[in-house]
Structure 1
Amino acid sequence: MSTWMVAKREILEAYHSKLVRCIGGLFIFILAVVGHEGSRGVHMYAEVEILLAPMILRVLIPLAALVLVFSSIAGRRESGSLRLLLAYSHSRADVFIGTFIGRCIIFCVILVLSLCAAAITNTWYSGNLPSTLYVTLALLSMVYALTTTGIIIGISAFTRTREWALGAGLGLYVFVMFGWQSLTRMIWNPRIDAGDPSIWFSLVKNINFFTAFLTAKNRFLIPSHGARRDELMREAASAAFYQSGWFALMVLVAWPTLLLALGLLQFRRADL
């Protein structure tokens, strides 16, 4: 009950937040435009065109999670409101878990409204919506949103100020998006060039949550026909276990689980 009270407080605060409204409006606008672009394909190509959405969400969701969540623990700790919240007989675990649940609900509501806007514009202009693909896209996007939200809350629990939380979250995203693959190539390329293509290179490359979302998209969002379907089916059939869609989902679950566990451990013993 105490956890849900904290989550409800998060939701009510978000309802009155101009920042949340701005991010929600931006998401709805962008995905409505994507839905309109998808409607340009005639009926047999609409499935392929709608797959523009996950490529955009792959970048937008982590950035939105960073803005929405970075101050969730660190900001309250810095302002002193966290001590006030704990005075209402909430345990630290209640506050931490309730914050995560509340922020996840807020983000998922924004995503659902945005995807509904994309579906409406796509159907309005084309008269055709690949419903199975679209439901899969919505579920996959929400998993990705939960992943990034959990990661940033875990980071926020480790830091004492908003600035440090924002900097650490942004630094992680930049590394994951741009530095992870370069670093793995730098470490393993000499061995690969020497004729030892170890599976560790591919495994490490695929435990990146940014890459995992792309892998899940390629494995689960498969058009019902066309050359792209044949290509994706061939890739799935020849893929190793660490290139499968289910492994990608495990990666998307493992990242927030680890960061949340470490964040909760740090939060429980932190000097507020």
Structure 2
Amino acid sequence: MIAVTRKEFLDSIRSYTLIGLMALFMAFAVFLTAIQWIPDMMGSTGNVNTLALLNSMRQPSVYLVPLVGLMVGYKAIAGERTSGSIRLILGLPNTRGEVFFGKVIGQTAVVSVAILVGYGAAALVALISYDSFALLEFGLYTLLTVLYALVCVSIAVGFSASTKSRKRALAGAVAVYSLILILWDVIVAVLQTMTIGYTVPVGEQPAWLSIFSALNPSTAFAHATRAVIPEYREITRFPYLQTNIWQDWYGFIVIGLWVVIPLALGYLCFNRADIE
């Protein structure tokens, strides 16, 4: 498994994938950091701090991280099967489990390094230019973003292992991205309209519908962040979620399920597949 993981990481360097992702996350994070203090240079007296930065990064991160994770991971195994190189990899002293989990760890490492470098550059800009900056809180947010990336890579690699076609794996990645970030809220809205009506007073949404809404991995990421960084609650609210049935730390349970279930299903399919 170590050999496969090392190969994945080195391949990303040789193909400039890692460099490209590092540049992407650096540009993304530094830009959002910089726009917090540029207005201050023009005479604004607003307080520029960590919470302001997290507020700017919150929504873009929810969309960018899954996009990168799914696009990096979807071809991990399906691409090898399409090209035929999977036979060479399995011909070496590697079990299918070692190949599968080596791919997961390797692809996660690639995305994680890009996030750490990009967010590290943003932290440097913030330390130099902000009124106040809580490095510990931003570091925790960075680690949670890496955990969110693990979820997306796990889904992508799990789906990639379940099909031998690279095109089908890509279609699956696109479908998952659309489900998580677009269709999930639509489904919640449709279920709400069909069962209790279009408008629901705050705090009166049925428990089952609130829980279903919270099972979205992007929502679970927000809940986990609220659990670790209490100040994050000021910028991320869930007014329809019953507090007596849901706690923010449950987000870690949901994240764990989104890692374990796709990997288990993907490994089961890959282990049973006939490699041509």
Q: Which TM class, normalised by the smaller chain length?
A: 0.7 to 0.9
- The answer for the alignment partner of 2:125 in structure 1 is 121
Q: Which amino acid aligns with 1:117?
A: A
Matched, 1:269 2:272: yes
TM-superposition CA deviations, 1:216-262 (whole Å, max 9, x none)? 334433339xxx74x87997x972343x2211111111112100000
Q: Which AA in structure 2 matches 1:28?
A: M
1:91 aligns with 2:89: no
- Check whether the contact 2:48–2:131 (CA below 8 A) recurs between aligned residues: no
**C-alpha separation in 1, matches of 2:15 and 2:226:** 36
1:133–1:43 Cα change, 3 Å = farther
Alignment of 1:259 with 2:262, yes or no, is yes
Bigger helix fraction = 1
Q: Residue 33 of structure 2: which of 32, 35, 38 is its match? A: 35
The alpha carbon displacement at 1:177 in A equals: 1.1
Calculate percent identity across the aligned residue pairs. Answer: 25
> Residue 90 and residue 221 in structure 1: after superposition, are their counterparts in 2 closer, same or farther (change >3 A)?
same
Equivalent of 1:176, from 172, 176, 180? Answer: 180
Q: Choose 82-91 or 212-221, whichever is displaced more.
A: 212-221
User: C-alpha offsets along residues 180-226 of structure 1, whole Å, 9 cap, x if unaligned?
Assistant: 122233234333239995311111111011221223334433339xx
Give the match for residue 115 of structure 2: 111
Q: After TM superposition, give the deviation of residue 122 of structure 1 in Å.
A: 1.4
- Matched residues in 2 for 1:38 and 1:171: separation? 34
Contact 2:49–2:131, Cα closer than 8 Å, also in 1: no
Is the counterpart of residue 187 in structure 1 residue 185 in structure 2? no
The one-letter code sitting in structure 1 at the alignment partner of 2:72 is L
CA contact 1:133–1:223 (8 Å) conserved in 2: no
Q: 1:237-256 residue pairs with structure 2 within 5 A?
A: 239-242=243-246, 244-256=247-259
Distance 1:234 1:152 in 2: 28
Contact kept, 8 Å, 1:31 with 1:118, in 2: the verdict is yes
For 1:18, the equivalent position in structure 2 comes to 16
2:193 and 2:226 mapped to 1: Cα distance? Answer: 26
Match in the other structure for 1:150: 154
Deviation of 1:175 after TM superposition, in Å, equals 1.6
Following superposition of structure 1 onto structure 2, how do residues 191-206 of structure 1 map, counting pairs within 5 Å? 191-193=195-197, 197-206=205-214
Give 4+ residue runs of structure 1 displaced > 6 Å after superposition: 231-235
Q: CA deviation at 1:37?
A: 2.2
Distance 1:122 1:15, change over 3 A: same
Deviations 1:59-118 (A, max 9, x none): 110001122111100000110111100001201001001111111111111111011110
Calculate the TM-score normalised by the size of structure 1. 0.88
| Separation of aligned partners in 2, 1:64 and 1:91 | 28
The residue that corresponds to 1:9 in the other structure is 7
Note if contact 1:54-1:217 (Cα within 8 Å) is conserved in structure 2: no
What is the distance in 1 between the residues matched to 2:226 and 2:196? 26
- Measured in 1, the distance between the counterparts of 2:242 and 2:191 equals 26
Assess if the C-alpha contact under 8 Å between 2:71 and 2:173 holds in 1. no
Question: Per the alignment, in what secondary structure is the counterpart of residue 231 of structure 2?
Answer: coil
Residue of structure 1 in register with 2:135 after alignment? 131
Where do 5+ consecutive residues of structure 2 fail to align?
none
What residue identity is the alignment partner of 1:8? R
Is the CA contact (8 Å cut-off) linking 1:35 and 1:122 kept in structure 2?
yes
Equivalent residues, number: 264
| Contact persistence 1:219–1:232 (CA under 8 A) | no
Inter-partner Cα distance in structure 2 for 1:153 and 1:35: 32
Structure 1 unaligned segments of length 5 or more: list them.
Answer: none
SS of residue paired to 1:245: coil
**Which amino acid in 2 is paired with 1:136?**
L
Q: Distance in 2 between matches of 1:180 and 1:232?
A: 18
Q: In terms of mean alpha carbon deviation, does 170-179 or 148-157 score higher?
A: 170-179
Out of 50, 53, 63, the position equivalent to 1:50 is: 53
